[in-house]
Chains A and B, each alone.
Chain A
Amino acid sequence: MTEPLIRPRRKDPLKKTREPLLPQGVRSRTAHGLTAAAAEGRFALQVCAGCGLAIYPPRDACPRCLSSRLPFQDVPPGGTLLAETTIRTSTDVYFRERTPWRIGTVVLDCGPSFVAHLHGDVAEGTRVRLSLRLDKSGNAVAIAMPEQSSQHQGDDVQLREFTCDPKFRRVLITDGRTAIGQAMARAMAGAGASIVFVGIADAWKPFPGETALRTIPGAEVVSLDITDSQSVADVAGEIAHRVDILINTAEHPRAGGIMHRHGLTIAHREMDIRYFGLLRLAQYFGPTMRARGADGVNAAAAFVNLLSVHALMNWPQYGAFSAAEAACLSAAQALRAELRGGGVKVLNMFAGPLDTEWFQTVPPPKLSPAALANATVDALRKGIEDSYVGDIAQDIKARLDVQPKALERELGQ
């Protein structure tokens, strides 16, 4: 069984911080089908449309019937670990400093065999569940997991290379004034975060839940206004080197489209809180996080954006809001590329309307802030980078994948 992780000691200030290295990161265009599945936490392989053969590694033609129609689709992840070996040294600089490292051969029930990373709890000859994960270079790799989950399974040292588990990490929640900010602080504390910094802007304005927020174990309230560059710079100066997971909970959902809104004041505010806020966080926290991507048990791990699923396709009823969310999605993609060199992930949590006052007139289903917070914990534990939470987000994503133009018309009715 996995030994539970030990809370990391305070860092020796005389020691050089280990610089982030990445495992080999080149994949073919076809092989990024695996990346796409891993990014969402799915287990998918190419399955030949001609003869039904499940295929690995990714190919451009079916090795059995030569068909070129090889779409990726979800397949059962069960298999058997045939053989294992332990790597004790390597010429690869990334693995060289992470040995000993176990790998093994897994034969899947659906056919193909893999050379996979091994979770510490799997043993030769036993049943395993193969899982696609994103490694530090952002590419899909396979790890053989035990069939049954156990209490400290997430603490496995090899698995933690692929995940962003909040356990013993220090989290910054950028806005704790809102229901989602407070739910997120609770969820992160519950997931074992050692410190939960919670940003509060305009501390002179009282807000619901203020007293309860301060009683969350490990919560430290910091004065942070992400619409104020100086405030972000000041807070980053104090704590950026202690932020392992940054969760931007600042939101500004306002109804209204593009044409009928009177003037730009609301749009300015939307862009300032959402898009420019993200830029400020990226500029002041990003470089330090990137530099700390391999800094031990509580290395910097993830930058989390809470996005409306309407970032993917505009919802004219909340048209200007959707446009601001789309800007954030685009910025998150750039940030993802910029943080990748440090092995730090950008996690986008896509959600439909939350069950809050700003979506009061929107009919259910609406997502509770706690559900979004719990889904964020889950996504960090899996190390994925795109999560679609709740019925609306999953529905929009599914319709987008099938027929974007139809979705555009449907949302505009």
Chain B
Amino acid sequence: MTTALTAFAVALATGRIRVIDLTHTLTPGFPTIVMPPELGQCAPFRMEEISRYDERGPAWYWNNFTMGEHTGTHFDAPIHWVTGKELPNNAVDTIPPEHFLAPACTIDCAAESAADADFVLTIPFVQAWEAKHGRIPSQSWVLLRTDWHKLPPRQYVNLSDDGPHSPGPAPDAVKFLVEERDVHGFGTETIGTDAGQAAHFTPPYPAHHYMHGRGRYGLQCLANLDQLPPTGTLLLTAPLKIRQGSGSPLRVLALVETKP
């Protein structure tokens, strides 16, 4: 008898389903989001050796590491934003585990982002994508492919004297995705789910404001979105189970079907 899971296992084993790692390696040099210097800052990734087969531990190698909840490729829980602070099951430890497996649509904005670092995803752009690939299904992640993950750190963060410049969604587009398409969450390659200049949008940081205000999730600093098909991806996004955690670094795996 072939159950769904054994079929799945066979598909994995035979390469019918491919696993794509959407995660950046955690390194000390990977940029963290920049806040004004008088505000609290997210800690970058740091590692200290406990021992390495030496006098501190003769037969074993291990490290202590420190970082913020929002360092590297990471997951945003609704409690991260003030709009989601009163929602039930809004922290990484209380989110139902089945929410960590969900399908994903990938909207390709790579060309537009290359032409304009301040590119914003609009409702017409989403509708044009739907005209080509079909309506975004309910409870599906929407991933913004910008190829931003390929940029070196300076261009990746792209700080200017008026702040960072990187692509992201327009406020009405986020509202549309949440209210009209009932999406599971929003994922980006950039350092946040919002555009670099989103502090100046109304509301500020709309992806955070609307997604988390409605109990939806965020993924950022994703890699390899250029390897995903527009539809048909299954995302595995289980954050660390941190009590009342607002987010967590995590390994994001995408499952895609290869053509027979």
A202-B31 contact, Cβ under 8 Å, with A265-B41, A269-B41:
yes
Taking each of B46, B48, B159, which has the highest tally of chain A beta carbons within 10 Å of its own beta carbon? B46
B31 touches A204 (CB 8 A): yes
Closest to A265 in B: B40
Residues of B within 8 A of A225 (CB): 28-29
A229 touches B153 (CB 8 A): no
Interface residue from B46, B49, B157, B160 paired with A204 (Cβ < 8 Å): B157
18 A-B pairs besides A204-B159, A206-B160 with CB distance below 8 A are: A202-B31, A204-B154, A205-B34, A205-B157, A206-B154, A206-B159, A227-B44, A228-B28, A228-B46, A229-B46, A229-B47, A229-B48, A229-B49, A230-B28, A263-B40, A265-B43, A266-B40, A269-B41
13 interchain pairs, CB-CB under 8 A: A202-B31, A203-B153, A203-B154, A204-B31, A204-B156, A205-B157, A227-B44, A228-B29, A228-B44, A228-B46, A229-B46, A265-B41, A269-B41
- Cα A205 to Cα B28 in complex, Å, equals 15
Let me know if A73 is at the binding interface, CB within 8 A. no
User: How many cross-chain pairs have Cβ atoms below 8 Å apart between A and B?
Assistant: 40
Let me know if A317 is at the binding interface, CB within 8 A. no
Residues of B within 8 A of A269 (CB): 41
Residues of B within 8 A of A265 (CB): 40-41, 43
- Cα A182 to Cα B44 in complex, Å, equals 25
Instruction: Tell me the residues in window 210-235 of chain A with beta carbons closer than 8 Å to chain B beta carbons.
Output: 225, 227-231
Shortest Cβ distance from B70 into chain A, in angstroms?
Answer: 13
Q: Which residues of B contact A (CB under 8 A)?
A: 28-29, 31, 34, 40-41, 43-44, 46-49, 152-154, 156-157, 159-161
Residues of B within 8 A of A227 (CB): 44, 46
Closest to A269 in B: B41
- Cα A176 to Cα B189 in complex, Å, equals 30
Per-residue CB contact flags for chain A residues 162-204 toward chain B (1 = under 8 Å, else 0) read 0000000000000000000000000000000000000000111
Residues of B within 8 A of A230 (CB): 28, 47
Residues of A within 8 A of B31 (CB): 202, 204
Residues of A within 8 A of B160 (CB): 206
Shortest Cβ distance from B26 into chain A, in angstroms?
Answer: 12
- Cα A228 to Cα B26 in complex, Å, equals 13
Shortest Cβ distance from B74 into chain A, in angstroms?
Answer: 18
Residues of A within 8 A of B49 (CB): 229
Closest to A229 in B: B48
Residues of B within 8 A of A204 (CB): 31, 152-154, 156-157, 159
Shortest Cβ distance from B56 into chain A, in angstroms?
Answer: 14
Closest to A263 in B: B40
Residues of A within 8 A of B156 (CB): 204
Residues of B within 8 A of A266 (CB): 40
Instruction: Tell me the residues in window 68-127 of chain A with beta carbons closer than 8 Å to chain B beta carbons.
Output: none
Shortest Cβ distance from B224 into chain A, in angstroms?
Answer: 21
- Cα A203 to Cα B31 in complex, Å, equals 10
Residues of A within 8 A of B48 (CB): 229
A205 touches B46 (CB 8 A): no
- Cα A269 to Cα B152 in complex, Å, equals 26
Closest to B28 in A: A228
Shortest Cβ distance from B247 into chain A, in angstroms?
Answer: 16
Closest to A255 in B: B38
Closest to A228 in B: B28
A205 touches B47 (CB 8 A): no
- Cα A14 to Cα B31 in complex, Å, equals 43
Shortest Cβ distance from B63 into chain A, in angstroms?
Answer: 10
Shortest Cβ distance from B93 into chain A, in angstroms?
Answer: 21
- Cα A202 to Cα B156 in complex, Å, equals 12
Shortest Cβ distance from B169 into chain A, in angstroms?
Answer: 24
A231 touches B28 (CB 8 A): yes
Shortest Cβ distance from A180 into chain B, in angstroms?
Answer: 16
Closest to A208 in B: B161
Shortest Cβ distance from A200 into chain B, in angstroms?
Answer: 12
- Cα A268 to Cα B42 in complex, Å, equals 12
Residues of A within 8 A of B43 (CB): 265, 268
Taking each of A202, A204, A229, A230, which has the highest tally of chain B beta carbons within 10 Å of its own beta carbon? A204
- Cα A268 to Cα B67 in complex, Å, equals 12
Closest to B48 in A: A229
Residues of B within 8 A of A228 (CB): 28-29, 44, 46
